[in-house]
Amino acid sequence: MSGHVVAIDLGTTGLKVAIVDPEGTVRGHAGETLPLVFGNDGSAEQDAERWWDALARCVRRALAAAGVAGTDVAMLAVTTQYSSTVAIDAAGVPLASTVMWMDGRAVRHSPFAGDPERARRWVEIHHVSPPPGGRPGQVAFVRAEWPDVYAAAAALVEPVDAICARLTGRVTATQNTVFPLGVIDDSTWNVTEYDPTLVELAGLDIDKLPPLVALGEPRGTITRHAADHLGVAATALVMGGTIDSVTSAIGTGARQPARCGLIIGTTSVVATHVSSHRHDREHGLFTAPSPLPNSWFIVAENGVGGKALDVLVRNLIYPDDGLGVPMPVDAFDRVTAAAAHVPAGANGVLFLPWLVGSMAPCFDRRLRGGFVNLGLTTERTDLVRAVLEGVALNAAWLIPYVTALAGSQDHSITLGGGGAATPLWGQILADITGAEVRRLANPQTTNAHGAGLLALVESGRMSWADADSALAVQQVHDPDPDNATLYQQLLAGFIDFHGRAGPFFHTLNTPSPPPATTATTEATS
């Protein structure tokens, strides 16, 4: 029974830990919700120290659920959300809150803001436009507004690299985990040196970047302190670590262009792999190096996914504001069961899922979500069905562009993430896309399972064929032809609304210029 993997999946709003046995089966898992802190200045932060405390609790609970002793843990595998920034010291201890991927403050500090020549040079190398803020803007924000933190930091890293450093006492990164900074020409696989020109274009200080190790190389042995904190063997090896789009692909079997994975977690992500560096600039798609040998994964971030349902249930149906019924334990099962009785099309209600802006295939951070076409007879169950359909419509808009870039004509989708626990969502997705949808049996641990399988293969303990065989399917959903015409019309209307609504949302969500100072007012009066 020895040789188990502790697979760690840190998402945007929660932490999951799965115990994967040597045969690739998830034996037990545990998780915790992690709050985000939003500010009126556009900030979005998370307490990185809270990750460490939650990790100890989740590892111990997952081991207990699996009936596995900590001494039987041979490896730890880490996968996390990405395009977020953590300032850490040389031992991996965070020095401040994490600047999350949706933080708006990075935009005003972006090295590309007001510098079209810098942006043009960036596009020549990467073939995609620089992000409005992104990792370079986040680092610039920390340097400008948290100067003491910046000065004390050994490195400013992605969450996956922060956790690996905390586990090993060694600050490292890989070409995969550092790709959001854009400081490596990613057309070559497994580069372990930063490009000085790209470092300059990104406005970064080379001495604040983590040292690079090869893709697939273990990060090191866990420290005694970390082993005691988690309750695992002090001999456990911390494996390479990766961003969660890669483990989403592995956890859905999408290691090759012929397979398409869709993960509906906090966000919605389409996952697959290709054998060369590619891009579709018009639709915000590009590739980044994967730990899989000589492979690149397609970066296909669709935006908010399951979080939309979470917002509806927690904020509108069962709000903790003294005005409604307290939220029951089975709230999500109740609302989705009720929505199953609503006809396709949600009685005319359309949901816009762009709660933090629109991402691929049409990037616009100023768009927002909403319900459209409400009437006097609209009920809450219509809203629930509309949310499920809206997220599926957004994915259906993106998937053809991903498959075109991958050169694939696959007509099936493997569905993972928490959203895949809902049979209704699987059927809606099949009806809207016209594809067979294979809903995984253990969807809540899709990314953690993928991380565990990757660790087993990289360590030589499992083949990829065996890893694929470890992915059990709960149910296959075939498209209902009776809904095809309706959903084709809805998809066309959904895409059309995105274009037409842009100017409206831009008016609402463009910051007002600062008021004139007293001195300026007096001088011009």
Specify whether the CB–CB gap between 346 and 353 falls below 8 A: no
- Token pair of 432, please? 């809207």
Specify whether the CB–CB gap between 362 and 281 falls below 8 A: no
Q: Which pLDDT score is estimated for 416?
A: 96
Compute the distance between CA of residue 320 and CA of residue 317 in angstroms, rounded to an integer. 10
Q: Which pLDDT score is estimated for 522?
A: 36
Q: Look at residues 487, 483, 494 and name the one whose alpha carbon lies nearest to residue 351.
A: 494
Q: Is the pLDDT score of 517 beyond 90?
A: no
Specify whether the CB–CB gap between 99 and 45 falls below 8 A: yes
Q: What is the mean pLDDT of residues 12-21?
A: 96
Order of strands, sheet of 296-299, starting from the edge strand that comes earlier in the sequence: 273-274, 296-299, 285-289, 279-280
Q: Which CATH number fits domain 4-240: 3.40.930.10, 3.30.930.10, 3.30.420.40, 1.10.3210.10?
A: 3.30.420.40
Q: What percent of the chain has pLDDT over 90?
A: 89
Q: Which pLDDT score is estimated for 128?
A: 83
CATH of domain 253-480: 3.30.420.40
- Using one digit for the tens of pLDDT, what is the confidence trace for 393-404? 999 999 999 999
Spatial CB neighbours of 515, under 8 Å, sequence gap ≥ 6:
none
Strands (E) located in 227-304: 237-238, 242-243, 261-264, 267-271, 273-274, 279-280, 285-289, 296-299, 301-304
- Token pair of 143, please? 């340097």
pLDDT grade for 521, boundaries at 50, 70 and 90:
very low
pLDDT-wise least confident of 131-135, 282-286, 432-436? 131-135
Q: Is the pLDDT score of 158 beyond 80?
A: yes
pLDDT grade for 519, boundaries at 50, 70 and 90:
very low
Specify whether the CB–CB gap between 262 and 270 falls below 8 A: yes
Regarding predicted confidence, which is higher, 512 or 183? 183
DSSP code at position 267: E
Compute the distance between CA of residue 405 and CA of residue 279 in angstroms, rounded to an integer. 7
* Average pLDDT over the chain, rounded to an integer: 94
- Confirm whether pTM is higher than 0.85: yes
Which residues make beta-bridge pairs with 221? 237
Place of tokens 């890893």: 467
Compute the distance between CA of residue 231 and CA of residue 378 in angstroms, rounded to an integer. 52
Compute the distance between CA of residue 153 and CA of residue 145 in angstroms, rounded to an integer. 14
Q: Is the pLDDT score of 2 beyond 90?
A: no
Strands (E) located in 182-241: 220-221, 237-238
- Token pair of 264, please? 């509906």
Regarding predicted confidence, which is higher, 100 or 325? 100
Q: Where in the chain is the domain with CATH 3.30.420.40?
A: 4-240, 253-480
Q: Is the pLDDT score of 331 beyond 60?
A: yes
Which residues make beta-bridge pairs with 477? 437
Q: Look at residues 8, 30, 10 and name the one whose alpha carbon lies nearest to residue 81.
A: 10
Q: Look at residues 412, 419, 433 and name the one whose alpha carbon lies nearest to residue 483.
A: 433
Q: Which pLDDT score is estimated for 444?
A: 92
Compute the distance between CA of residue 419 and CA of residue 293 in angstroms, rounded to an integer. 30
Regarding predicted confidence, which is higher, 513 or 406? 406
Q: Is the pLDDT score of 63 beyond 90?
A: yes
